[in-house]
């Protein structure tokens, strides 16, 4: 009898494999593959994409944060090491208590007046008005400082001071005023005839001529040392000027400490007009300090 055939629907999947079905919202559920090592769930393509994208975002954010931290640290480091004008001046100068008072050491740009024919209250033949102008610059008041300042300038505490009942401050002066005194004495010495007159005679001119000459030489050398120490490195230009030819232009720009501020500090720390008197604690030196 003829063989009978049974119609069977074609099924390409093994009986233990799960067909892909559609979810109610139209999204496909990923099939589970069966292998020799067991079932492995495949990662959906869309989830893998967002995982990779999310990783890149996290890496970018971390990079930005790291760069931001580096920039902040760099800026803060630079800011920490930026000094004020007074602090920078203190780093390039020997110690002075004036650096410790805020607002005392300030700077300004000044154009020097270097023309030969230029006149001001400090130039010219001697007269009362000119002498008064120089006396203001000299500022003869001495300043009082404590023992800590004496230690920091590496001087001995046997230096002259007022007794404890008068405050015990050391008798000191600011060097710029001594330099002004020296420059003024040299100026006066160039007009010896005028300043030897009794009505015009300043205190140094009451000394003998050898002592006065030694005083002037001392002042010249003090100013020499000062100029070499603070060596001005500004640039002087030249012009062609009739009838002299090459002619220097000494009217140059400078950055200067405000002199008035230093005078104010000296006034604030001024000592009594009376000099200190030696007492039982006074140490006498056998000769001037060297």
One domain for residues 73 and 146: no
Q: Per residue in 19-39, pLDDT tens?
A: 444 444 444 444 444 444 455
Q: How many domains are there within the chain?
A: 2
The mean per-residue pLDDT over the stretch 221-232 comes to 98
Per the domain annotation, does 233 fall within a domain?
yes
Distance, CA of 223 to CA of 254 (rounded, Å):
19
Predicted TM-score (pTM) of the model is 0.72
Per the domain annotation, does 9 fall within a domain?
no
One domain for residues 138 and 265: yes
One domain for residues 141 and 215: yes
Per-residue pLDDT, 79: 58
One domain for residues 76 and 178: no
Per the domain annotation, does 188 fall within a domain?
yes
Per the domain annotation, does 10 fall within a domain?
no
Per-residue buried b or exposed e for 116-154, using 16+ beta carbons within 10 Å of the residue's own CB = eeeeeeeeeebeeebbeebeebbbebbbbbeeebbeeee
Q: Is the pLDDT of residue 170 over 80?
A: yes
Domain that holds residue 149: 111-237+260-269
Mean pLDDT estimate for the chain: 85
Per-residue pLDDT, 16: 47
Q: Is the pLDDT of residue 60 over 90?
A: no
Per-residue pLDDT, 80: 60
Sign of the dihedral defined by the CA atoms of residues 60, 63, 67, 68, in that order: positive
Place of tokens 């950055």: 255
Q: Nearest-CA neighbor of 253 among 87, 75, 128, 107?
A: 107
One domain for residues 72 and 121: no
Per the domain annotation, does 224 fall within a domain?
yes
Distance, CA of 147 to CA of 262 (rounded, Å):
21
Which segment, 61-70, 104-113, 267-276, is predicted with the most confidence on average?
Answer: 104-113
The mean per-residue pLDDT over the stretch 134-153 comes to 93
One domain for residues 64 and 197: no
Per the domain annotation, does 47 fall within a domain?
no
- How remote is the C-alpha of 242 from its chain's centroid? 44
Lowest mean pLDDT among 76-80, 152-156, 226-230, 244-248: 76-80
From 63, 82, 101, the end of a domain falls on: 82
The mean per-residue pLDDT over the stretch 189-202 comes to 97
Q: For residue 257, which phi and psi values (nearest 5 degrees)?
A: -70, 140
């Amino acid at each position: 009898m003829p063989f009978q055939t049974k119609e069977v629907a074609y099924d390409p999947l093994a009986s233990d494999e799960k067909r892909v079905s559609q979810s109610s919202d139209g999204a496909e559920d990923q099939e589970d593959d069966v292998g020799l090592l067991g079932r492995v769930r495949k990662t959906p393509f869309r989830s893998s994409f967002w995982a990779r994208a999310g990783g890149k975002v996290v890496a970018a954010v971390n990079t930005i944060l790291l760069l931001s931290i580096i920039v902040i640290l760099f800026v803060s480091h630079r800011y920490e090491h930026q000094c004020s004008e007074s602090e920078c001046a203190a780093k390039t100068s020997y110690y002075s208590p004036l650096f410790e008072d805020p607002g005392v050491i300030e700077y300004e740009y000044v154009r020097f007046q270097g023309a030969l024919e230029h006149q001001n209250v400090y130039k010219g033949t001697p007269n009362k008005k000119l002498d008064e102008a120089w006396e203001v610059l000299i500022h003869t008041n001495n300043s009082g400082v404590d023992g800590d300042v004496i230690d920091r300038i590496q001087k001995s505490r046997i230096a002259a001071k007022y007794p404890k009942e008068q405050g015990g401050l050391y008798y000191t002066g600011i060097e710029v005023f001594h330099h002004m005194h020296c420059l003024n004495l040299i100026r006066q010495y160039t007009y010896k005839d005028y300043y030897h007159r009794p009505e015009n005679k300043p205190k140094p001119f009451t000394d003998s001529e050898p002592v006065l000459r030694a005083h002037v030489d001392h002042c010249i050398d003090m100013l020499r040392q000062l100029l070499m120490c603070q060596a001005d490195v500004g640039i002087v230009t030249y012009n062609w000027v009739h009838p002299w030819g090459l002619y220097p232009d000494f009217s140059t720009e400078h950055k200067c400490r405000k002199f008035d501020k230093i005078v104010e500090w000296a006034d604030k720390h001024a000592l009594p007009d009376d000099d200190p008197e030696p007492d039982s604690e006074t140490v006498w030196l056998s000769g001037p300090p060297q």
